[in-house]
Amino acid sequence: MVNMNFVAQCNRIFTQCVADYHRTDDVDAPICNPYAEGTIEYDLYLKNWIDTVQWHLEDIIRDPQIEPKEALVIKRRIDKSNQDRTDLVERIDSYFLTLYQGVQPKANARINTESPAWAVDRLSILHVKIWHMNEQVERKDVSEEQHNKCVAKLAVLNEQLSDLTTSIGQLLDDYASGERIMKVYRQMKMYNDPSLNPVLYGKKGLGD
């Protein structure tokens, strides 16, 4: 029950954050995180804010009339957002590592395909998808056929939300009981690291 309460908390915070963003619907609006810095609630809110802003940046950059210079600026901003997102997911995983560090895995304990924070990442993005699909359902300037398609898609997204909520809770239960081994592999992305990306450290002959 404790773990399901945590996932319910995630859902509440993500719902709150998406609504907060759309009060201005501005990718440059300052974030007003209502939670204390250093808490898991703060990180969850920040995680969803990053996802929501990036969703809109991805919309903007697909404007066929966008100026190339503006597109490059936005592309660089999306790249930074992706790195911030990864760093934050890994920080949330550190929270889970600390939370379950005292659990002794059972002899037959299994390893999961993804860490709990990456599952929470999918949950956060799903909330952004649901908000925007609901927006499409409420449009009055579309055909009945398009409206019905969006209604069907929204139903699938809500089903995914229910299933993902349950599965994350079950995953955390397994960690708490030792049924699964709490294990995290850092992303170690190379292209943002000036010591690992050959373009950034000036490797000669690149592209020859």
Three-state SS letters, 119-181 = HHHHHHHHHHHHHHHHHHHCCCCCCHHHHHHHHHHHHHHHHHHHHHHHHHHHHHHHHHHCCEE
> Tens digit of pLDDT for each residue in 30-41?
999 999 999 999
Q: Is residue 206 part of a domain?
A: no
Which amino acid is residue 78, in one-letter code?
Answer: I
**Containing domain of residue 110, as a range?**
2-201
Q: Is the pLDDT of residue 205 over 70?
A: no
> Tens digit of pLDDT for each residue in 22-66?
999 999 999 999 999 999 999 999 999 999 999 999 999 999 999
In this structure, are residues 198 and 29 in contact, taking their beta carbons and an 8 Å threshold? Answer: no
Q: Is the pLDDT of residue 118 over 60?
A: yes
Total domains in the chain come to 1
Q: Is the pLDDT of residue 115 over 80?
A: yes
Q: What is the pLDDT of residue 203?
A: 59
Q: What mean pLDDT comes out for the span 135-152?
A: 97
Q: Is the pLDDT of residue 200 over 80?
A: no
Q: Is residue 25 part of a domain?
A: yes
Q: Is residue 207 part of a domain?
A: no
Beta partners for 58? none
Q: What mean pLDDT comes out for the span 163-185?
A: 93
Q: Is residue 182 part of a domain?
A: yes
Q: Is residue 102 part of a domain?
A: yes
Q: Is the pLDDT of residue 2 over 80?
A: no
Q: Is residue 55 part of a domain?
A: yes
Q: What mean pLDDT comes out for the span 154-169?
A: 97
Phi, psi of 111 (to 5 degrees): -105, 135
Q: Is residue 208 part of a domain?
A: no
Q: Is the pLDDT of residue 197 over 60?
A: yes
Q: What is the pLDDT of residue 183?
A: 83
Better pLDDT: 109 or 113: 109
Q: Closest Cα to residue 51, out of 23, 12, 15?
A: 15
